[in-house]
Structure 1
């Protein structure tokens, strides 16, 4: 059967055309002509390793732009590295394609290349497979930290202040708009606001510049990927502490504030939505001013939204009336009933 004009050829040709250019700046990739790569951290440093996958229909819509998928596949992994105070070094990628579409691959590669440039994290190797579907992209990313200094999630301390970077809930709204465009009229959002929210869902920007501040001043940190409330609970459980958040202090973008003003219960949904890829950090009070100053120097917004409270069991979010907020769910879970 003749090959369609936009269909890629064999695996080696696909690697040479699409993946090898992404690895060109990383010597340890050996031009993707070997089965393995070498990654050497700077002297006195150790490797930090993380992995995340994107699956069509689960993490991105089948109609998603291929360039956005490429960007997001790397961004969600870099987000984990940033939370550890790590500097990105390189990544390996395993991609399973239900179809060999040259146009889709070219756009995917464009998004991936843009993410590499933005995050300083080149391709080191990987694997390319054919699958009956759905399409999946799995990335394992490597970073470096000074030996013994990785910022963990299980090391929050009594009385630490709780900070979050950026704004919360924009990606949740962006996904909602993708699924139901009529919401924009109900929320009274203009074109610019809609584009902003949808971009926060499709192209998250983990705050790479914040990593040195976390390394210097945070006692614990993790990224916010499955929902602020769920991830804060995870951090507190791992650290064996309790904690509280002040809902009024949770940073919201202008469009998100408009939605909260127009709709009941949307603040709860924004605090329990996923896909933010911001950083949740615990900082001792003595370090707070320096942390905020370093973040400002890095042009990264951070907001104090609560504190670690060892006298409390579990976590709570305090609403405007001073009472704990109630959540029907605290975040995304792949294995919960849908």
Structure 2
């Protein structure tokens, strides 16, 4: 199985409403009059991070990508649990972990530690408290909505090529910034929202699929870090910007580019300049 077919097989098991049909960035549990948002991500050496990556940067990225999922739900972080595979650079991992937790005032609540042979892997579970009801969902896009994205796409891709330089692109790759404040401000405005982790085009297709709609994107409206490599910037991923839909006349509380619109209901279709594109076209990263 590839990633998509495996997740589809899991949907039969994930029948609790909190799982949101496995079509969202996180689970949302109603608890004591509040909504808890829970998410989990794994990083694998040689897949999500380079074999020679600084463990401090691995720790930062591990927590940041989970906080980004909370940002897409407009959630305030309550804490994280971290799984660490012991090996070279453990002290650096602890240092980077302390830096990301301090930067976003997030407590470490626990986790697990193991040692094994082969490629190392790291896991993180992040827990947050929703700040707005209903909690933003990938499934809410409405016909007539505009499609927006924050920031510029492709900086992480360029940063991998410029790794260690200290440039803005370098930091975008090594130390992505979860847009927690922006997510909380957008939560009352959006009809659907998710973060861009696997490439803008693939994540737009996922949003269209979850909302059962057609999304029409305008290529020239998409902000990319290198216009000469626009297709790569839209497909590479690791951007952790916020992708969302909102009424076309909505007053947005954050800066964002309007990159398209929501059209037909029941379409499950992504169009780029009127051309239908699908995951089989290599829209982004899939395992």
Could you state the TM-score of these two structures normalised by the residue count of structure 2?
A: 0.82
Tell me the matched-pair count.
255
Structure with higher helix content: 1
Please, which runs of 5 or more residues in structure 1 have no aligned partner? Answer: 1-40, 182-190, 261-265, 296-300
Give the counterpart of 1:281 among 241, 244, 267: 244
Does structure 1 residue 232 correspond to structure 2 residue 217?
Answer: no
Could you state the TM-score of these two structures normalised by the residue count of structure 1?
A: 0.70
Does structure 1 residue 214 correspond to structure 2 residue 183?
Answer: no
Instruction: Write out aligned runs for 1:119-198 (5 A).
Output: 119-146=104-131, 148-177=133-162, 195-198=167-170
Instruction: Give runs of ≥4 in structure 1 deviating > 3 Å.
Output: 41-44, 323-328
Q: What do the CA deviations read for 1:115-163 (whole angstroms, capped 9, x no partner)? A: 1122232210011011112111100000111474210001111111111
Offset of residue 177 of structure 1: 4.5
Instruction: Write out aligned runs for 1:14-53 (5 A).
Output: 44-53=33-42
Task: Determine the structure 2 residue equivalent to 1:67.
Answer: 56
Q: What do the CA deviations read for 1:220-262 (whole angstroms, capped 9, x no partner)? A: 0011000100000000001000011111111134xx24xx1xx
Please, which runs of 5 or more residues in structure 2 have no aligned partner? Answer: 1-29
Q: Distance in 2 between matches of 1:212 and 1:93?
A: 24
Give the counterpart of 1:248 among 191, 211, 220: 220
Q: What do the CA deviations read for 1:55-88 (whole angstroms, capped 9, x no partner)? A: 1111100111111111000000011100011111
Offset of residue 44 of structure 1: 4.1
Q: Distance in 1 between matches of 2:79 and 2:189?
A: 25
Contact 1:89 1:120 in 2 (8 A): no
Task: Determine the structure 2 residue equivalent to 1:298.
Answer: none
- Higher-Rg member (1/2): 1
Does structure 1 residue 112 correspond to structure 2 residue 97?
Answer: yes
Instruction: Calculate the aligned-residue CA RMSD, in Å.
Output: 2.3
Offset of residue 325 of structure 1: 8.3
Does structure 1 residue 82 correspond to structure 2 residue 46?
Answer: no
Does structure 1 residue 324 correspond to structure 2 residue 287?
Answer: no
Structure with higher strand content: 2
